[in-house]
Chains A and B, each alone.
Chain A
Amino acid sequence: MMFDLLHTPLGPLPLADWLSWLFIVTGSFFAIVGALGIVRLPDIFSRMHGAGMVDTMGIMMILTGLMFQADTWIVVVKLALILVFIFFTSPTTTFALARAAIHGGVNPGPTVEELVEAKVIEDPQLDTKIEPTFDPKVKQEAKPSNT
């Protein structure tokens, strides 16, 4: 009976097309912004955050939107499985990329301790405040990439 249920045609869901529009347009927006981030962000570690937007929010919203277009439950199940697998594998690839960059000698940026030492931020603990620095050289070193 599980199989009959899988192939039961889904009845007309009210607003299904509108929900599809909503989710797919939202997902496309975040995918485009993520791609823009890959271009705009300055170095490989920052760019990974842009890539992360594409394969979390972009994938999630677009697949959810596609689920509203499904004729039978089996399509919904398959789309959900794709989503689950991407959510488990994409951090792994990001981690491998980060490891490769570190082994390749890319500087991932200043640590919190260095920032505190350079007086860019005040407190390493919870109450972090951004403090204006008066030494232009230190400021340039701490934010090398903000062009």
Chain B
Amino acid sequence: MLHAFSLGAALMVVWGLLSGMPEPLLMGLGVASVVLTVWIAHRMDVVDHEGHPIHLGPRALVYFPWLIVEIIKANWDVAKIILSPKMDIHPHIFKTKASQKSDVGLTTYANSITLTPGTVTITMDDDGIFEVHALTYGAREGIETLDMDRRCTAMEGMSKTDDKSDKTPGPTSSGPTTSGPTSSGPAS
């Protein structure tokens, strides 16, 4: 229920920001669209901490500026390699263990690796082991310092461990009957 309200509020803010016109007709259409969207999302059972991770909030504001700095540094390294006449690359694959607990955290970490030029996440398995394609040995060493992994786990926060354990068997196997207690119960 909390997630449904926050999702509706976020959608309404986005509507307002994109339209920018406070006319009753447009705002009414906006409210109708938001209600319809939240209802559909609720029916799809995606209004939970995973589909709408409000709990990350301020910690994400610490993580993403750091990630942007890393992306700029990695871009500079890859640009130097591409522009060098010899192009000293060693494409190879390595495995790395992700320490995040929730699906949101794992996805964020995998996406961060991919966003950083020089490394691309190719596969991941259920134990959180990523197979990463690296352009150079240096790019692999950058990931293997596990700095990004630690920061991503810090952003995820440690309070979500039990959420994962009661979520994994939930919506995939038996639908809305056993899913999380906060999301779907009172909203129907």
Q: Are B16 and A37 in contact (CB under 8 A)?
A: no
Of the candidates A30, A41, A88, the one whose C-beta lies within 8 Å of that of B79 is A30
> Complex Cα distance A130/B88, Å?
12
A98 touching B122 in the complex, CB below 8 Å, given contacts A53-B75, A130-B137: yes
| Assembled-state Cα–Cα distance A52/B81 (Å) | 14
Q: A3-B21, A40-B82, A130-B137 are in contact. Are A111 and B94 (CB under 8 A)?
A: yes
B137 adjacent to A56 (CB under 8 Å): no
B8 at the interface (CB under 8 A from A): no
Distance A108 CA – B18 CA, assembled complex (angstroms)? 42
B16-A49 in contact (CB<8A): no
A25: Cβ under 8 A from any B Cβ: no
Q: Could you give 29 example pairs across A and B, Cβ below 8 Å?
A: A3-B16, A3-B20, A30-B79, A36-B83, A37-B82, A40-B82, A40-B87, A41-B87, A46-B135, A48-B120, A49-B120, A50-B117, A52-B117, A53-B78, A57-B71, A57-B75, A74-B17, A78-B18, A81-B14, A90-B115, A92-B111, A95-B122, A108-B91, A108-B93, A108-B133, A112-B95, A126-B144, A128-B140, A146-B90
B positions within 8 Å CB-CB of A: 14, 16-18, 20-22, 68, 71-72, 75, 78-79, 82-83, 87-95, 110-111, 114-123, 133, 135, 137, 140-141, 144-145
- Please give the residue numbers on chain A whose beta carbons come within 8 Å of chain B beta carbons, in ascending order: 2-3, 6-7, 30, 33-34, 36-37, 40-43, 45-46, 48-50, 52-53, 56-57, 60, 74, 77-78, 81, 87-88, 90-92, 94-95, 98-99, 102, 108-112, 115, 121, 125-126, 128, 130, 142-143, 145-146
